[in-house]
Chains A and B, each alone.
Chain A
C-alpha cells in the first residue's frame, strides 16, 4: 500500500502541470504541424498530406540563389533585428544587473530597484509601444525638442516607422527578460571571489572577464533564449513601430492567418520554430543551463 503510493506520488504531483502543457502547448503544436500539410484554396481548407505549403514557403528560393527570395530576405531581416535586439538587451541587461548586484550596497535598495525594472510590465505590450508614437513622431516631443534647441531645422523622419523605432521598442520590451536571469546568476556569485581576484592582482576588467562573466554564463543563456524566441516571432512591434512596412517572419504568418490561409501559415510557423530551435540548440552547446535550475 505504502509502496504503491510512494511509487505513483511523483507522477500525480507532476500531472497537473503536465496536463497544462499537453493541452496548451503540445496539442496546439501538434495541430499546427498537422495542418501545415493540408491544402487550401481562397475560401476553404481541406485535410490532406501534401508538402505544397513548404514548397510555397520556399518557392524559387534555392533556384534563384545567390539572389535572395522574399522568404530568405524576410528571415534575414528578422535575424538582423533579433541579433541587434539581443546584443543591446544583453549589454543593457548585464550592465543593469551588474549595477544592482555590485554597486548597490543594501539588499532592500537592490530589491526596490529590481522591482522598478519590472514596472513597464504593469501596462500591456501594445500600450507600451503606442506610447512611443507621441514621443518619436514627426511632431513628437523628441523632434520638437531637437528643433527647439536648434540642433535640426526640420523633423527627423527615421525616428518613427523605421528599423530604429522597431529596435527601440523591442529593446524596451525585452530588456527585463535579460536583466532577471542575469541578476539571478550574478547575485549568487560569492563576494569573496571578487576579493580573491583582486588579491590575485586582477584589474576590474580582468575580474569581469575572468570571473563574473563566466559565472553569469547560464543567466546570459537563459535571458538570450527569452529574448531571441520573443523577437524571432514578433509581429506586433515590427508592424506597429515599422509602420506595417517592415517584413518579419512573424508578420508573414500573421498576414496569412488574417487571409485565413491556415495551412501555409502553419507551415511557416513550423519553419520559424525550427529556426528558433536551431539557434537555441547552438547556444546550449556552449552553456549548460541545468546548472542554474
Chain B
C-alpha cells in the first residue's frame, strides 16, 4: 500500500545557538531498510530523526526523500510519519478517531475515514478495540494504535522515537519482534532511534552509531560487532575488551578470551567478580596493570574448572581475534 522511497541526508547540520547538535552528517538509507540510530543521550540521534520528520528545522544541508528535497515541507507533506516516544495518542478520542485523525484533518468524509481507520487497525490486529479510549489500553496495545495512526497516511518512511522505552522488559521483546514483522510486511523504511544496542542489533538491517553529533560508524549489526571502527563504538556496543598495545588501541571480543589457571601462558589477572548468566558465565577481571576486562565463558567450560573471586588466573586470546581500532 505504501510507496517505499530512498532517503538521503547530505551534510545535514542542526545548531541550537552556539551548540551543534548534529554536525554535517551524510547518510543514505535505501527503501525498505530497518535502520537504527544508536547512541548515548545527547549524541544527536533524536535531533536527526526530528529533522527527517520535519519537527525540527534543518540548519544546514539537505534531506532528500525519493526525488525531492523535503527540508521546508511540513511533516504531513513529506511522506514521513512519526511514532512518538510516549505514543502521544489523543486521550479524548477513541482508538478509531485517533487513527482517523489525519484523514479528518485532510477533510476526508466520515464514512470513508472510518473504513480506512478500521482497515489500518486490522493490520495491527486492534480492530476489536476501536471504540476504546487510549487510557483503557495496555502499553503494548497503545503502541499498536500509535503505529496504526502513523501508517494510516501511507508513509514512505516511518520514524520511531524510542518506541520501546515505555514498555516492560518482556513486552519490549515481543513488541520488538512485531515491529520487525510490520516493517517486513509493509516494505517501507523504518528509522528507529534507540540507546539500546541490544534493540538495534535485534532489529536493524543498518545501524548508525552516533556520538557528539557525528556518525561514528554505520553498517549491518554483524559487521559493526565484529569490526568496531573506533574505541567509542567498541565500548558502546559492549562485549568488547579495549586494550592499549604499543600506543595503539585494540579490541578483543569478550567471548574470545580464555581464562586459565594462574601460572599458565597469558596475561596474569585477578578475578574480581563472577556473574552466572545461564548459558554463559561473565568473569570480571583486573590485570596487574590495572586494566579491567570481561571474559564471557560458556557455562560448561567454566564449570569444568571454576574460578573464585580473588583467584589469580591467566587470560589469553588468539592473535587472530585482535581487532585494531582507529585512534
Alpha-carbon distance A211/B105, docked complex (angstroms): 12
User: Chain B: how many interface residues by the 8 Å CB criterion?
Assistant: 24
Among the stretches A126-134, A140-148, A193-201, the one at the interface with B is A193-201
| Cβ proximity bits B76-102 to A, threshold 8 Å, 1 near / 0 not | 110001101110111110000000011
Interface residues on A, range: 10 to 19
A215 close to B92 (CB less than 8 A)? yes
Q: Answer whether residue A202 sits at the interface, using C-beta atoms and an 8 A cutoff.
A: yes
Report the minimal beta-carbon distance from A282 to chain B, rounded to whole angstroms.
21
Q: Answer whether residue B153 sits at the interface, using C-beta atoms and an 8 A cutoff.
A: yes
The A contact surface, by secondary structure, is helix
A206 close to B53 (CB less than 8 A)? no
Tell me the nearest residue of chain A to B149, going by C-beta.
A200
A210 close to B88 (CB less than 8 A)? no
Report the minimal beta-carbon distance from B226 to chain A, rounded to whole angstroms.
38
Alpha-carbon distance A200/B91, docked complex (angstroms): 16
Q: Answer whether residue A190 sits at the interface, using C-beta atoms and an 8 A cutoff.
A: yes
Residues B45-67 near A (CB distance < 8 A): 53-55
Alpha-carbon distance A199/B149, docked complex (angstroms): 10
Q: Answer whether residue A243 sits at the interface, using C-beta atoms and an 8 A cutoff.
A: no
Q: Answer whether residue B104 sits at the interface, using C-beta atoms and an 8 A cutoff.
A: yes
Alpha-carbon distance A201/B149, docked complex (angstroms): 12
Q: Answer whether residue A192 sits at the interface, using C-beta atoms and an 8 A cutoff.
A: yes
B76 close to A200 (CB less than 8 A)? yes
Q: Answer whether residue B174 sits at the interface, using C-beta atoms and an 8 A cutoff.
A: no
* Residues of the A chain whose Cβ atoms lie less than 8 Å from the Cβ of B149: 196, 200
A199 close to B105 (CB less than 8 A)? no
A197 close to B101 (CB less than 8 A)? yes
Q: Answer whether residue A120 sits at the interface, using C-beta atoms and an 8 A cutoff.
A: no
Tell me the nearest residue of chain A to B86, going by C-beta.
A192
Alpha-carbon distance A193/B91, docked complex (angstroms): 9
Alpha-carbon distance A197/B89, docked complex (angstroms): 10
A196 close to B88 (CB less than 8 A)? yes
Q: A214-B92, A215-B91, A215-B92 are in contact. Are A202 and B105 (CB under 8 A)?
A: yes
CB < 8 Å: which of B82, B86, B90, B91 contacts A199? B82
Q: Answer whether residue B106 sits at the interface, using C-beta atoms and an 8 A cutoff.
A: yes
A196 close to B105 (CB less than 8 A)? no
Q: A206-B105, A210-B101, A210-B104 are in contact. Are A199 and B85 (CB under 8 A)?
A: no
| Cβ proximity bits A185-221 to B, threshold 8 Å, 1 near / 0 not | 0000010110111111111001000110011000000
Tell me the nearest residue of chain B to A193, going by C-beta.
B88
Q: A201-B76, A210-B101 are in contact. Are A196 and B90 (CB under 8 A)?
A: yes
Most-contacted residue by chain A among B91, B106, B149 (CB, 10 A): B91
* Residues of the A chain whose Cβ atoms lie less than 8 Å from the Cβ of B77: 201
Report the minimal beta-carbon distance from A188 to chain B, rounded to whole angstroms.
10
* Residues of the A chain whose Cβ atoms lie less than 8 Å from the Cβ of B82: 195-196, 199
Q: A195-B55, A210-B101 are in contact. Are A201 and B88 (CB under 8 A)?
A: no
Tell me the nearest residue of chain A to B85, going by C-beta.
A192
B105 close to A193 (CB less than 8 A)? no
Alpha-carbon distance A198/B81, docked complex (angstroms): 10
A198 close to B88 (CB less than 8 A)? no
* Residues of the B chain whose Cβ atoms lie less than 8 Å from the Cβ of A195: 55, 82, 84, 88
Report the minimal beta-carbon distance from B92 to chain A, rounded to whole angstroms.
5
Alpha-carbon distance A151/B54, docked complex (angstroms): 50
B84 close to A196 (CB less than 8 A)? yes
* Residues of the B chain whose Cβ atoms lie less than 8 Å from the Cβ of A190: 86, 88
CB < 8 Å: which of A199, A202, A214 contacts B53? A199
Residues B231-274 near A (CB distance < 8 A): none
Q: Please name 19 further chain A to chain B contacts, defined as beta carbons within 8 Å, in addition to the given A195-B82, A196-B90, A200-B149, sorted by A numbering.
A: A190-B88, A192-B85, A192-B86, A192-B88, A193-B88, A193-B91, A196-B89, A199-B54, A199-B75, A199-B81, A200-B101, A201-B74, A201-B75, A201-B76, A201-B77, A201-B153, A202-B101, A210-B104, A215-B91
13 A-B residue pairs with CB within 8 Å? A193-B88, A193-B90, A196-B82, A196-B84, A197-B101, A198-B55, A198-B74, A199-B82, A201-B75, A202-B101, A203-B105, A210-B101, A215-B91
